[in-house]
Amino acid sequence: MKWIAFLPLSLVYQTGLGAQEPSFSQIPVTANIDSLQKILPSQRTHVRFSTLLSLEKSLLLWEMRIDSTYLDELRKDLPNYPEATGHYWYFNSWQQRIKSNPDKAFAAAKAAYDYYKRQQDSTGMVSALSNMGIIILERDEQSSSDKPHYGHQYLDEAMAISRHSSNPELQILYTYALGRMPGLKLLGKAGSQILPQVQKGLALIDKHPQYIYYKHQLLNILTLLYWSKGQLKEAQVYTRQIIDLIKQHKRRVPIAHLYNLGFYYEMQENYEKALQAYQVTWETAHRPDEPSVRYLWQTSAGIHAALVGLKKYKEAATWADSIYTYGEEFDAENVKNKLQETVVAYEVEKKDAQNRLLEQEKKLAQAQSQVYFGVGICATLGLFITGFFVYRERLTNKKLKNALTEIVQINQVRDYFFGVIAHDLRRPFTSFKDLASLVRYYLTTQRYAELEKISQSIDDMGRHTLLLLDNLLSWALTQREEVPYNPEEVRLNEKIRSVVELYQSVAQYQQARIQTECPESLLVYVDANACDLILRNLVDNALKNLPPGGEITLRAIVEKGANQARLVIKDTGRGMSPEKLASIKNILAGLSLSNLSRGLGMVLVGRFTKSNHIAIDLRSNPGEGTTFELYFPNYRFEG
């Protein structure tokens, strides 16, 4: 078995681009991915390109993931190696599928299939067709059960190519296509047909161990089959085999298998093992390249359920906030996707309306041409009358178009506003509901000492709700263009002190510290209410993302010879990804109103800093905290 884990570089070269037309099956797969990654920097030209293909295929078949860096490098080198175009599109389709972009994933898989078909690459054709079919099945199962699942036709075609092949790899791929054919909802009913074929495929892999990387995919079919039949014990056993197999080859276990293992243990009421599995999943979900939001939410709920099952209610209560926090982020992503779908539908309808208008104008122009062919004064008079009415019609159409544009903008702002209200108010009211349940529980069990902690949580939720109401009022004023702007000299230290006092109890409850440093005599020229709103939202945002024992620092700096005062608000929280950082910068700059997961606070911070001529800068890295810097152009020292 050891020779499977390591493929020498010469084999990568000979079976890769050394051939004139490398097939999909000729791309080597190895569990020793780390060795390939180590030698990659020293390679050049076709040898490096061949190693990149082997790396992507190995990562896909062992860990079910695609490395974007390697894929980008393959794309850039395609002009030099056009014979590898199909392989690039196949890996690209998996990348889009992992990112939950079914339309782009299907288009890429179709491009790969067309290439493989021209090259008569049977293994590539079956792999691409299977991917196309599964993409359609997964999309239709998530959206609506009423849609015709035409993904079956691609799986049928994949099975037709591989059914009678003597090639063991094609026979294994036939088994995989057959196992995915029914879809998750009907898999249990088709078990009597699928189970013997999967067992045959597993036996074939044991006979040909060079295809060991397909084994966990067939085991996963068995897992899904028993899960759909309600036989959770068997599903858990096969999931454990998948994890052990991948670990045996020293590869990273996909997070879905780790979560499923915890879920199966939980459903069997084996809460101790469920908790252990969920904790491993929780650690994995925090890796930068994992789809963390969804699994952080689901795993939080799983850990909470396991702790409740173990009757560790106090520990379970600490996970409730995580469930709501990540649940809100997950819901916000879904709202964003639905909003994008609505925008696309609107654009399609808009184009259709424009086409109809153009068609009407075309018919009108034809009618005018017929009138122009009249004779004498009647034709001239007819032209004059027609032109007059055309002018009036176009003038009316222009007014209607302007009114339609204004209505669309108003509706967009309204939908955004309602989305923000639903997003920002959901958490405090949901938390009030759960706190009420905990109060009843502690009263029933006569645990009066815990009620003091509950009172702190109620106070925190009330303070958070008050901040939301202040933000909503300020937002309403900005939409009506009635924002008061009364600048005056404000003692910055007093503003900082009042905000810190407001959140001091929250920080103590989170075992966090708020440090301040500001000269007593520093005066800045701003609107006092706007200054309060900006500082409250930035400190509130920092506390939301602060782990226990974290720290927030507010430090006012006036450098010698500088023409502006600088206020630095820095926290030791979890930081932001580059995508989230770019999104918030766009919101602060007033360039985007589409990301509801950021809430209303950042929008108001951006608008009030702009109206008060305060420059704002933002820096953050994952795991390194976040830093906001405010630049006040007008300041002086008192005395």
Residue 2 has pLDDT above 60, yes or no: no
440 alpha carbon, distance to own chain's centre: 37
**Which amino acid makes up residue 583?**
S
Q: Which helix (H) or strand (E) holds 488?
A: strand 487-491
Read off the pLDDT of each residue in 343-353 and give the average, rounded to a whole number: 63
Could you give the CA distance from residue 631 to residue 559 in angstroms, rounded to a whole number? 12
Residue 12 has pLDDT above 50, yes or no: no
- Per-residue pLDDT at 94: 93
Q: At what angle do helices 528-544 and 449-479 cross, to 10 degrees?
A: 130
Q: Which of 259, 257, 256 is nearest to 245 (CA)?
A: 257
Could you give the CA distance from residue 395 to residue 291 in angstroms, rounded to a whole number? 52
- Of the listed ranges 395-409, 469-483, 484-498, 553-567, the one predicted with least confidence: 469-483
Q: Which of 214, 218, 252 is nearest to 238 (CA)?
A: 218
What length does the chain have? 639
- Per-residue pLDDT at 289: 64
Read off the pLDDT of each residue in 614-620 and give the average, rounded to a whole number: 93
What DSSP letter does each residue of 235-275 carry, written as one string?
HHHHHHHHHHHHHHTT-PPPHHHHHHHHHHHHHTT-HHHHH
| Segments making up each domain of the chain, as ranges | 374-476, 486-637
Number of H helices, E strands in the chain: 24, 8
Q: Which of 240, 172, 174, 178 is nearest to 212 (CA)?
A: 172
Residue 141 has pLDDT above 50, yes or no: yes
Residue 53 has pLDDT above 90, yes or no: yes
- Mean pLDDT, rounded, of the chain: 81
What DSSP letter does each residue of 149-200 carry, written as one string?
-TTHHHHHHHHHHHTT---HHHHHHHHHHHHHTT-TTTTTTTHHHHHHHHHH
Q: Which of 254, 158, 173 is nearest to 208 (CA)?
A: 173
Q: How distant, in Å, are the alpha carbons of 128, 156, 175, 197 from that of 193?
A: 24, 15, 11, 7
What 8-state DSSP symbol labels residue 564?
A: S
The residues facing 631 across adjacent strands are 566, 615
Selection from 106-120, 388-402, 414-428 with the highest mean pLDDT:
106-120
- Per-residue pLDDT at 593: 57
What 8-state DSSP symbol labels residue 91?
A: H
Residue 376 has pLDDT above 70, yes or no: no
Place of tokens 């985007």: 592
Residue 476 has pLDDT above 70, yes or no: no
What 8-state DSSP symbol labels residue 563?
A: S
Read off the pLDDT of each residue in 113-131 and give the average, rounded to a whole number: 94
HEC per residue, 539-561: HHHHHHCCCCCCEEEEEEECCCC
- Per-residue pLDDT at 76: 93
Q: Which of 455, 432, 465 is nearest to 540 (CA)?
A: 465
Residue 8 has pLDDT above 70, yes or no: no
- Per-residue pLDDT at 9: 38
- Please give the structure tokens belonging to residue 617: 């800068």
**Which amino acid makes up residue 63?**
E
- Per-residue pLDDT at 10: 38
**197 CB neighbour count, 10 Å cutoff:** 17
546 alpha carbon, distance to own chain's centre: 22
Percent of the chain with pLDDT over 90: 38
> In which band, very low, low, confident or very high, does the pLDDT at 98 lie, cut at 50, 70 and 90?
confident
> 201-216 pLDDT, tens per residue?
999 999 999 999 999 9
Could you give the CA distance from residue 90 to residue 131 in angstroms, rounded to a whole number? 9
Could you give the CA distance from residue 493 to residue 546 in angstroms, rounded to a whole number? 23
- Please give the structure tokens belonging to residue 555: 């430090």
Task: Identify the residue with better confidence: 253 or 333.
Answer: 253
- Per-residue pLDDT at 322: 80
236 alpha carbon, distance to own chain's centre: 28
Q: What are the E-state strand segments in 492-533?
A: 513-517, 522-527
Residues contacting 435, CB < 8 A, separation 6+: 454, 457, 458, 461
Residue 11 has pLDDT above 50, yes or no: no
- Per-residue pLDDT at 561: 76
The residues facing 182 across adjacent strands are none
Q: How distant, in Å, are the alpha carbons of 165, 186, 486 from that of 313?
A: 58, 38, 51
Residues contacting 261, CB < 8 A, separation 6+: 236, 239, 240, 243, 277
Residue 332 has pLDDT above 80, yes or no: no
- Per-residue pLDDT at 18: 45
Asked if 550 and 595 count as a contact pair (C-beta separation under 8 A), the reply is no
**Strand, coil or helix: 120:** coil
- Per-residue pLDDT at 396: 78
Place of tokens 């009420």: 436
The bridge status of strand 551-557 relative to strand 513-517 is parallel
- Per-residue pLDDT at 237: 94
Q: Which of 565, 553, 542 is nearest to 492 (CA)?
A: 565
Asked if 599 and 423 count as a contact pair (C-beta separation under 8 A), the reply is yes
- Per-residue pLDDT at 604: 83
- Per-residue pLDDT at 167: 93
> In which band, very low, low, confident or very high, does the pLDDT at 562 lie, cut at 50, 70 and 90?
confident
- Per-residue pLDDT at 404: 77
Q: Could you give the count of Cα atoms lying within 13 Å of 411 in the half-sphere of its Cβ? A: 10
The bridge status of strand 626-632 relative to strand 615-620 is antiparallel
Residue 349 has pLDDT above 80, yes or no: no
What 8-state DSSP symbol labels residue 21?
A: S
Could you give the CA distance from residue 45 to residue 73 in angstroms, rounded to a whole number? 12
Residue 427 has pLDDT above 60, yes or no: no
Could you give the CA distance from residue 137 to residue 274 in angstroms, rounded to a whole number? 30
**544 CB neighbour count, 10 Å cutoff:** 17
Percent of the chain with pLDDT over 70: 77
**Which amino acid makes up residue 169?**
E
Residue 517 has pLDDT above 90, yes or no: yes
Angle, CA of 233, 189 and 242, to the nearest 5°: 40
Residue 598 has pLDDT above 70, yes or no: no
Q: How distant, in Å, are the alpha carbons of 172, 180, 182, 516 from that of 186?
A: 22, 10, 5, 61
**486-637 maps to which CATH number?**
3.30.565.10
- Per-residue pLDDT at 336: 64
> 300-329 pLDDT, tens per residue?
899 989 898 999 888 888 887 788 787 777
Residue 61 has pLDDT above 70, yes or no: yes
Place of tokens 């190696």: 81
**Strand, coil or helix: 389:** helix
> 181-235 pLDDT, tens per residue?
877 667 767 778 888 999 999 999 999 999 999 999 999 989 988 888 889 999 9
**Strand, coil or helix: 64:** coil
Q: Could you give the count of Cα atoms lying within 13 Å of 355 in the half-sphere of its Cβ? A: 6
Read off the pLDDT of each residue in 397-418 and give the average, rounded to a whole number: 68
- Global pTM reads 0.51
> In which band, very low, low, confident or very high, does the pLDDT at 465 lie, cut at 50, 70 and 90?
low
